[in-house]
Amino acid sequence: MAGEDRKLANGAKHIDFQTDPSRYRHWKLAVAGDVATLTMDVDENGGLFEGYQLKLNSYDLGVDIELADAVQRLRFEHPQVKSVLMRSGKNRVFCAGANIRMLAGSTHAHKVNFCKFTNETRNGLEDSSENSGQKFICVVNGTAAGGGYELALAADHIIMADDGSAAVALPEVPLLAVLPGTGGLTRVVDKRKVRRDHADFFCTIEEGIKGKRAVQWRLVDEIVPNSKLEARVNERAKEFAASSKRAGQGEGIVLAPLTRTIDGDSIRYEFVSVDLDRAARTATISIKASDATPPADAAAMQAQGASFWPLQVARELDDAILHLRINELEVAMLVFKSHGDGASVLAYDAFLDVHKDHWLVNEVRHYWKRVLKRIDVTSRTLVTLVEPGSCFAGTLAELVFAADRSYMLIGSRQGDNRAPPAIVLSAMNFGPYPMSHGLTRLESRFQADPGDVERAAAKKGEALDAEAAEELGLVTFALDDIDWDDEVRVFFEERSSFSPDSLTGMEANLRFVGPETMESKIFSRLTAWQNWIFQRPNAVGEVGALQRYGTGERAQFDMTRV
């Protein structure tokens, strides 16, 4: 199953983010022509942990791992699909939201990482709509409460049954003393443009809103009697498919399982490796360039399928980041390294640029964008070391610009016959991979003088040594061989000694400068507040709302407003 517990070599367990439709326990994926249907039919006894049942289509991380996989497969494996129906396999209930018993029994870290992943999954629905032309229609046949309504909010269009009982609700504040954890507040007012006073009322009642008021307040798009519901759903699916910009042709590609070995303190894929130093609380992520040349044309790329180097590396890096996030909670720092021929990376970048209008290249580019965004919002210190033999060029150079600190060696190291390191910029550094707030990493980096971006762009294709990279502002420090070991060691030791709480807050604040978007609000403002509220006794204390929910006893609150 998705999220299955598996043993590591050291005896610990980890949550696995790899799955496929043959292993789904909670979702059914059906494709008919240009319309796909995702049916949520949660197995009550299929939770990740013991101590709760997933009743009323409530969900835990395992349910969302399957959803994320299904959305990814729709983009890559089904280029003909232009509209996606999300519906429930249960009678008179769409989804009751995140399972409350699971939340009450989870560690704080698990709750926060669970919310972060579900946020990313819902953002992925919207990204698919905007950039892949797969439009999502949510059919609410009963109660859509909390995270269930937040899932509906991620769709392009919400159809609700008009039967006197179907309703939408965000009852977290009155029931649980927490906030909607996956963007509900933000999407209600920013996406659906619900009036603030209406939203205030809606978010402070338990029973939700149904019928004409739900439409009038913009909480749903339309209500339909049960006798006409199926006809309307089919009509809307055809309308959205007809208006889609998706131009996928031919067969999709199969996202075959990744080859991965987890052995003690290492994780090995074909092009990505992770080495853990638990004493130093670091994970070193190394990425290898391809030894093969890019395919001759788009048809040859499609024939390569999931082994096409940019796609395979993105999948491996994505899986590694998710694994580290939730299974290696004491790792304080992710250290990025690379090795191989930078010219190979640039050749693949050139291929992605020339063929950007091809549906599969479009998907690969947007997948890299999402992987880099996932790195941006990972609560670990990000460090990139640019050393001899590295290939931080084009797409991989984004890992230099994503880092909180980057160090680049001047020249070579004594006894090392590899070429001195260089950074090479490509077209991929100037638009295709925006951060959550809409700026590229270079635009975000050079807020003081946008002309610095232009100066960097003028150097595209040039091999920039450490001193040139430092002069352009592309790295934090350029160090010679004499200072390298000591400077890097002192930084690692110092960073690992700081409070992880203060570092998480500091890094998240500093990474996202400039404007805000709906997505960045969800990850910065909402996630920060939810992180704080999940630790407050009013929510998680012995007499708090999460602990007392369902017991018949009222929660006891410290009524101090702070």
Reported in sequence order, the residue ranges of 146-229 that DSSP labels E, i.e. its strands, are 157-161, 167-169, 222-224
Strand pairing category for 266-268 and 272-277: antiparallel
Cα-to-chain-centroid distance, residue 453: 27
Q: Which residues, 6+ apart, have CB-to-CB distance to 107 below 8 Å? A: none
Residue with tokens 């007809």: 242
HEC assignment per residue over 40-67: ECCCCCCCCCCCCCCHHHCECHHHHHHH
Q: What is the mean pLDDT of the chain?
A: 94
pTM of the model: 0.95
Classify the C-alpha dihedral 149-152-157-163 as positive or negative. Answer: negative
Q: Which residues of the chain have pLDDT under 50?
A: 1-12
Q: With beta carbons less than 8 A apart as the criterion, state whether 510 and 492 touch.
A: no
According to DSSP, the β-strands at 13-15 and 5-7 are antiparallel
Number of other residues whose CB lies within 10 A of the CB of residue 204:
12
> Which tokens belong to 384?
């990139």
Distance separating alpha carbons of residues 421 and 410, to the nearest angstrom: 8
Q: Which are the contacts of 158, defined by CB distance < 8 A and separation ≥ 6?
A: 137, 138, 140, 152, 168, 219, 220, 221, 222
Q: 3-state DSSP call for residue 448?
A: coil
Q: What are the residues whose beta carbons fall under 8 Å from the beta carbon of 391, sequence distance 6 or more?
A: 287, 289, 338, 339, 340, 341, 342, 344, 345
Per-residue pLDDT of 308-350, as tens digits, reads: 999 999 999 999 999 999 999 999 999 999 999 999 999 999 9
Quick one: which of 210, 150, 136 has its CA closest to 180? 150
Q: Are 445 and 473 in contact (CB under 8 A)?
A: yes
pLDDT tens by residue, 102-151: 999 999 999 999 999 999 999 999 999 999 999 999 999 999 999 999 99
Phi, psi of 316 (to 5 degrees): -65, -45
Alpha-carbon span 429 to 144, nearest angstrom: 41
Q: Which residues face 31 on adjacent strands?
A: 36
Condensed to tens digits (0 to 9), the pLDDT of residues 250-309 reads 799 999 999 999 998 999 999 999 999 999 999 999 999 999 999 999 999 999 999 999
Nearest Cα to Cα of residue 481 among 405, 550, 416: 416
Which domains are assigned to the chain? 27-243 (3.90.226.10), 261-509 (3.90.226.10)
Per residue in 222-233, pLDDT tens? 999 999 999 999
Question: What three-state secondary structure class fits 229?
Answer: helix
3-state secondary structure of 259: coil
Name the one residue in this structure whose structure tokens are 């060696």. Answer: 409
Residue 253 in contact with residue 76, Cβ under 8 Å?
yes
User: How many whole angstroms separate alpha carbon 388 and alpha carbon 340?
Assistant: 10
Between CA 78 and CA 188 the distance in angstroms is 30
Show the tokens assigned to 226. Answer: 């049960």
- Cα distance between residue 70 and residue 47, in whole Å: 18
Residues in the chain: 562
